[in-house]
Structure 1
Amino acid sequence: MKITRHFVDVGSRRVHYRRSGQGPVLLMVHQSPRSSAEYAPLMAEWSDRFTCIAPDSPGFGHSDPLPDPAAPIEAFADALVDLLDALGIEQVAAYGFHSGGIILVNALSRHPARFAALAIGGYAIWTDAERAAFSESYLPAFQPRAYGEHLTWLWNRILEQTWFFPWYQVDPGARMTVAHDDPVRVDAVVRDMLDAGDAYRAGYGAVLRASRDIPAAGTPTAPVLITAYDGDVLQEHIDRLGDLPPEWSARKVASPIAHQQASVEHLALRAMPGPDQLGEADDEGFVHVVTTGFDGLIHWRGTRGAAMHVHGPGRALDLLDGAALAIDLPGHGLSDPWPGAAPSDVGAWQTVITACAQALGASRTTYEALPIGEPAKLFPSLEPDRFGAYLTRAWAIVRAAHLFAPWYDANSASQIDFDPATLRPERLGAEHLALIRSTAAREWLIARRQMEVDDGNS
């Protein structure tokens, strides 16, 4: 079943969430430093039993951070309940993995009437010594650097977190049994970290600082199941849980599949129906576009009925400063990719743009200027590789593009005027993220150039 994506305003913050399925509602809270994207496979699997709702926690994915960078775990728990209010959900069953479970247990303790049941994958009970070590080393500042040095650190930090725990403790005693070198898996976490930026420290730090929130034995609560599988660093914490309330249970299981099966069986007995319609923002969202060559979600932002601005190849609507209404094209920004190979014929792109303009009531459509150069050279492959070189390659491209046209000809004949402010690392970071998200930049450039030829001949 298709996963849809939405934005909703929760007080002064904007929250992004994914939704799929039908039936009773299941809230799914991700771990740090991930986003709701990590639950896409599980949502596809569980959507035949639940209406799955997976938000991006504050500061992660595409949700605004909390105003206080030192917010405690209670603030993240309250933000989750505020989201339930904004969505119109009175009571819900919920699933959380690792830090997602920490947030849920705190939310249950603070707002017991809002939860029908919890299923938790691994619940951390840190010692004072462990917590002190985390505070010193686990969450270094993460800021973009002028030449992309931060990307080398990021790739290796995410890769080696499956080799050692904690990730910075590179010694034989910290080796893990789940080590891998899969660039696709590393890339997924890297992208979530790039979305969060330095805000990752707030949400991650809150759960690492959190105390044991389990109610005292004998306290009546909604049923809670905690499981942890072989290889999970939190499996040994099952032995640290201590006495549990009567409706709580905890056990070790053999595999992730066993954990998921136990969780879904526990939740299916207690999940409750939700509202017919969930809350949603009125100035940002996703249009479902179905044309001959495309069937997917197109991200948009702005005022319906205004002139619609379309970004250039390898870019995204976030870079269109001052646009009253804008979209991310297929294979760009937050929009879905083209199914299969992206087309380079102008007709396929134009039908999607026209469909978006009609759905959003756009008064007219305008386009961002195009780069000069050969499409294949302007937009080389940026597929994730074993050593993360695609990240620094993309950074070098967006930096050089401010200095030369085309960027790949770095000589006096191709140098262009530039504003030094455009080379600020924060700005380059936004352009870099747009470029690595782009899976159809080359094809959009070819199509746009054909559009200009057609317009010139008409």
Structure 2
Amino acid sequence: MIERHYVNVPGGQMHYRRAGEGPPVILLHSSPLSSQAMEPWIRALADRMTVFAVDTAGYGQSDPLPVADPDIDQYARRVVEFADAVGLERFIVAGTHTGSKIALSVAVQYPERVAQLVMDGLGLYTSDELQRQLDHYTPPIVPNWYGGHLIEAWHRMRSMWTFWPWFNQTAEGRLDETVPPLDELHQMTFDMLRARPDWGLSYRAAFRYDARAALSRLRVPAVLLAKEADPLHEHLDRLKVEAPTLQVRSVANEDHLAELAAAFDTTLDLPVPPPAPSVEHRGGTSRRYVTTSQGRVHVRMDGDLSAPALLFVHGSPGSAESFAPLIEELATDHLVIAPDTLGNGYSDAPRVADPDIAYFASVYAEVLEQLNVGPVAIYGSHTGACIGLELAIARPDLVRSLVADGLPAFDEELQADLLANYWVSLEPERNGEHLLRAWHTVRDAQLWWPWYRDDREHRRPTGPSAPEELHRLVLEFIKSGPTYRLSYSAAFRYPSAQRLPKVQVPTLVCAAPTDMLHQDSQRIVGQAPVVSFVELDPAAGRDAAWAVRHHAATVAGR
């Protein structure tokens, strides 16, 4: 089983995958991907080694380095900080492409820590090639209003498997390579899109890194290999450097993974790695996984541990990160605990086929119990308002108060219409159409209610978000994948009007006039004695953060 973890490092966190038992090995992926790309390596090694596959700083789920233009040695330093944090004294380090250069720098700078180095593809560029790569390989991703940048990113990634370099789209530039399956290509494109702050940072660091000079200083046992279809295979003949501890191997395409696995020396007498350390929240923002009976839940925490605890339950589609600006505002005077609902964000998919709101609420209760937090105030938006309400009803011992921002209460006709028409397919398609579909689904939801009824009757009095903000929201939608519909469907079916009178904790229902749930939210409030309604008006300062603080003050004054 491949586990996923975070660990604290100076100035941030690193995300990694861990599997197996035996001598420790750290795996470093190529740019602009994540540790998910290393899962074939993990599976090949985990029967005899403890494998740590790390998201490079700024990629996957790891925080960026605190420098504007990092070099390979700084990325390598972060790897050693990771090793310190997870308790590795000596280890094998291995990487592919950019990961090879980071691994090489680790071995050269910290030879006392590295028992063996394994590199899969190592770029050794001429000065003309280097300049061309720096000039053309990593153009910025600039969101535009119609989502065309997503299609551009998709085809750039696809072209990386078709041409070398990807921008040399000529017969001479064709690669003898197979384009990955659509699900893998989708993950690679998503990794490119979510890289922070710039998907090209580690690429440019790798292009500039003088690998020949580093190899001349190499003192640890090392293996460099490349498969025949790798565009860096021809660079094996460019080595021309004295490196007595280095073995160089050219391998057939079909033998690539087996040869890689065979290159690792499992006879080395290395200390057994300790268990994965738990994450300690030190203020600011931290992330962790919480294991529940229904799967792993990704949890974001913000704020001071001594502040009042607020459980933040996000709306659909998206994740806690979709609400990052509001979370950061609330964290100025709260400890904000923001899980990703199962089937959303980085949390596992639900383990039942058709979960209801009570199911999701029970998982949130488990999260609070695992974190030993409660009773808490709750803020929930739309789907999150349903989950928060049900949690308050089922587990009043865990809940101090509730703010439900937009509580759905649909009649049978609208409910049936939503359940029949609301979902879109996020299954990857050959030309990236699914990315454009995700973009316009989120954008249209800001223009019409429901989003698929684009007529005058269903027009919303709102405009679309700016492209940069819309891009952020769409990435959170894409992150969830096809399982995004499960919590949505549960909210559409949830009988808010019947459940609201059963709540016993002080509850504030709120909504702005532009919220499509405003009328229903206001209509059902009178049925519950401990529930009140307030209309939000962000222009007048009465926004969601104000509602949370207003309700807390009201509850404290009772």
The two structures have a TM-score, normalised by structure 1, of 0.91
Among 229, 232, 239, the alignment partner of 2:230 is 232
Change (3 A) 1:101 1:6: same
Change (3 A) 1:226 1:23: same
> Mean alpha-carbon deviation: is it higher for 69-78 or for 160-169?
69-78
CA deviation after TM superposition for structure 1 residue 198, in Å:
5.0
Deviations 1:383-407 (A, max 9, x none): 1111111101111111122222222
**Root mean square deviation, CA, Å:** 2.4
> Quick one: higher RCO (CA 8 Å, sep 6+), 1 or 2?
1
CA deviation after TM superposition for structure 1 residue 319, in Å:
1.9
CA deviation after TM superposition for structure 1 residue 317, in Å:
0.7
Match of 2:527 in 1: none
CA distance in 2, matches of 1:297, 1:451: 27
Among 270, 273, 298, the alignment partner of 1:272 is 270
Among 391, 398, 419, the alignment partner of 2:435 is 391
CA distance in 2, matches of 1:454, 1:358: 27
Question: 1:226 aligns to what SS in structure 2?
Answer: strand
Question: 1:152 aligns to what SS in structure 2?
Answer: helix
Match of 2:530 in 1: none
Letter in 2 for 1:189: M
CA distance in 2, matches of 1:144, 1:163: 25
Among 426, 433, 448, the alignment partner of 1:382 is 426
Match of 1:336 in 2: 348
Match of 2:487 in 1: 444
CA distance in 2, matches of 1:62, 1:191: 12
1:423 aligns with 2:465: yes
CA deviation after TM superposition for structure 1 residue 227, in Å:
0.9
Unmatched runs of 5 consecutive residues or more in structure 2: 282-286, 331-335, 384-407, 503-558
Letter in 1 for 2:316: P
Match of 1:369 in 2: 382
CA distance in 1, matches of 2:180, 2:39: 22
Change (3 A) 1:42 1:351: farther
CA distance in 1, matches of 2:337, 2:269: 39
Change (3 A) 1:362 1:393: farther
> Mean alpha-carbon deviation: is it higher for 204-213 or for 438-447?
438-447
Question: 2:449 aligns to what SS in structure 1?
Answer: coil
1:163 aligns with 2:174: no
Letter in 2 for 1:434: E
Change (3 A) 1:232 1:140: same
CA distance in 2, matches of 1:7, 1:85: 14
CA contact (8 A) 1:229 1:252 kept: yes
Match of 2:403 in 1: none
CA distance in 1, matches of 2:487, 2:257: 43
Match of 1:251 in 2: 249
Q: How many residues align?
A: 449
Question: 1:187 aligns to what SS in structure 2?
Answer: helix
> Mean alpha-carbon deviation: is it higher for 344-353 or for 354-363?
344-353
CA distance in 2, matches of 1:144, 1:247: 47
1:108 aligns with 2:119: no
Match of 1:345 in 2: 356
Higher gyration radius (CA): 2
Among 277, 288, 292, the alignment partner of 1:289 is 292
Match of 1:185 in 2: 184
CA distance in 2, matches of 1:259, 1:271: 24
Aligned runs of 1:5-404 on 2, under 5 Å? 5-180=4-179, 182-196=181-195, 199-213=198-212, 215=214, 221-255=219-253, 257-270=255-268, 272-283=270-281, 284-290=287-293, 294=294, 296-302=295-301, 306-320=309-323, 321-322=326-327, 324-339=336-351, 342-360=353-371, 361-364=373-376, 365-370=378-383, 374-404=418-448
CA deviation after TM superposition for structure 1 residue 455, in Å:
1.4
Change (3 A) 1:220 1:203: closer
CA contact (8 A) 1:26 1:50 kept: yes
CA contact (8 A) 1:93 1:118 kept: yes
> Mean alpha-carbon deviation: is it higher for 365-374 or for 443-452?
365-374
Unmatched runs of 5 consecutive residues or more in structure 1: none
Letter in 1 for 2:129: E
Question: 1:200 aligns to what SS in structure 2?
Answer: coil
Letter in 2 for 1:432: V
1:409 aligns with 2:408: no
CA deviation after TM superposition for structure 1 residue 269, in Å:
2.7
CA distance in 1, matches of 2:83, 2:495: 45
Identical columns (%): 29
